[in-house]
Amino acid sequence: MPQNVWLSRLRLTDFRNYQHLTIDLDGRPVVLTGANGAGKTNLLEAISLLSPGRGMRGTPFNDLARFDGSGLWAVSAQLEGPDGQINIGTGLELSPEGHLVSGRIVKVDGHHVKGSGKLADLAQIVWLTPALDGLLTGPATERRRFLDRLIVGLDPGFRALSSQFERAMRQRNKLLDNGSNDRFQFTGLETLMAETGAALAAARLEAVDRLAHAVISKWPPTTKDGEPSPFPWSTLTLEGELEHDLRIMPSSDAEDHYLRALQDNRERDRAAKRTLIGPHRSDFLAGHGPKKMPAKFCSTGEQKALLVGLILAHAELLKDQHRTAPIILLDEISAHLDQTRREALFKEILSLSSQAFMTGTDTNIFSPFGGGAQFYSLDNAAIVS
């Protein structure tokens, strides 16, 4: 495991229901068990904040502080990797004048870094939570957000590109809402939206193609032994007007077509008070490959199996690209998975040599790991065994 990236120590201070917690780790997968409310998911959320963004729950940073604490919180870790040990941390802090600093601060080896994007250079962290169980049947917004999170690990420039498009669109929406007819402002913003929007859609299409190939490679219809793969392969597609154009015409033509559409639809967008066309309206769709069935029509267990299969295939892509396995967070992972698929999941985690953090209420479910994992029991935000 010397070439992998893993946490050797994790510290939480006034985070969620934790007043103080220090946990030492050795790189093996970690199983966290305990009753509901013990703090299992909160611990995983803390780890997810060691990556860019707002973590696996997307909670505003001010709401992460312990209810009866100081209003501040901190998460820090020792990260082991090919280049040695790195100390990383994040949280809220006060200014010299005693005011709460806006947003969270991020430190690497004791030094402040600008934004949380630097964390992506240090470790890849992926997760699957019960909140995603309805992803394949829910709104397109959630599927896009899920896809974009997968893409960030594969394409370092994707986050900045997405932010550029979102900023330009917000400014255009503000002009629409204010009733502005400033042709020069609209032209500038719409040109920027067309440039970044086409690049954004192209990056998504490339990533979906890579994911689709990774999934079928990882989960062929049958294994070498002639048995069905434990997780079904999935069909993955990206639907949207801009994506359609990029498939049938040069990118420059697709960009020009989107620019004209933005210009032609200003009044319709003004009535709606928002931009109605673009990559922010695209949908990421999955299907059950063996059954040739849209995922939304599959059973809850089949949908969970599709998501687990996708996450594991994505983890393989990350490992191939970065030469290190990602840290994987799996909250209440046993829900909707039968024993065969649970055991297949545990086997895949060990094969990846990934430091996976898994939670559950029943320790026996994770018994196939044996000595291949570290086991901790939590109660009232404390380790009891």
296 within a domain of the structure (yes/no): no
- Do 172 and 78 share a domain, yes or no? no
> Which tens digit of pLDDT belongs to each residue from 58-89?
999 999 999 988 899 999 999 999 889 999 99
| 315 found inside a domain | no
Domain housing 82: 6-124+324-377
Q: Are both 257 and 345 inside the same structural domain?
A: no
Q: What is the pLDDT of residue 3?
A: 66
Q: Is residue 219 part of a domain?
A: yes
Percent of the chain scored above 70 by pLDDT?
99
CB 47 within 8 A of CB 122: no
User: What does the pLDDT look like over 233-276, one tens digit per residue?
Assistant: 999 999 999 999 999 999 999 999 999 999 999 999 999 999 99
289-306 tens-digit pLDDT: 999 999 999 999 999 999
- What's the total number of domains in the chain? 2
Confidence of residue 96 (pLDDT cuts 50, 70, 90): confident
Positive or negative: CA dihedral 338, 339, 343, 349 = positive
What pLDDT is stored for residue 2 in this prediction?
A: 41
Q: Confirm whether 350 is domain-assigned.
A: yes
109: pLDDT confidence band, cut at 50, 70 and 90? very high
Name the percent of the chain lying above pLDDT 90. 89
Residues 11 and 103 placed together within one structural domain of the fold: yes
Confidence (pLDDT) at 266: 96
pLDDT band for position 99 (50/70/90)?
confident
Query: Is the confidence at residue 31, as pLDDT, over 70?
Result: yes
Q: Using one digit for the tens of pLDDT, what is the confidence trace for 300-352?
A: 999 999 999 999 999 999 999 998 999 999 999 988 899 999 999 999 999 99
* Neighbouring-strand partners of residue 87: 78
**pLDDT score, position 228:** 87
Scored b (16 or more CB within 10 A) or e, 90-108 reads bbbeeeeeeeeeeebebbb
Q: What's the confidence (pLDDT) of residue 256?
A: 98
In a domain, 211, yes or no: yes
Q: 2 — phi, psi (to 5°)?
A: -65, -25
CA–CA dist 71, 37 (Å, integer): 21
Task: State the average pLDDT for the chain.
Answer: 94
Closest of 88, 83, 56, 61 to residue 73, by C-alpha: 61
The answer as to whether 153 is a domain residue is yes
Same domain for 159 and 25: no
- 203 with 249, same domain: the answer is yes
118 and 157 in a single domain? The answer is no
Do 267 and 353 reside in the same domain of the chain? no
Let me know whether 153 and 283 are in one domain: yes
**Would the pLDDT of 120 be above 60?**
yes
Same domain, 282 and 350: no
Could you tell me if residue 318 is inside a domain?
A: no
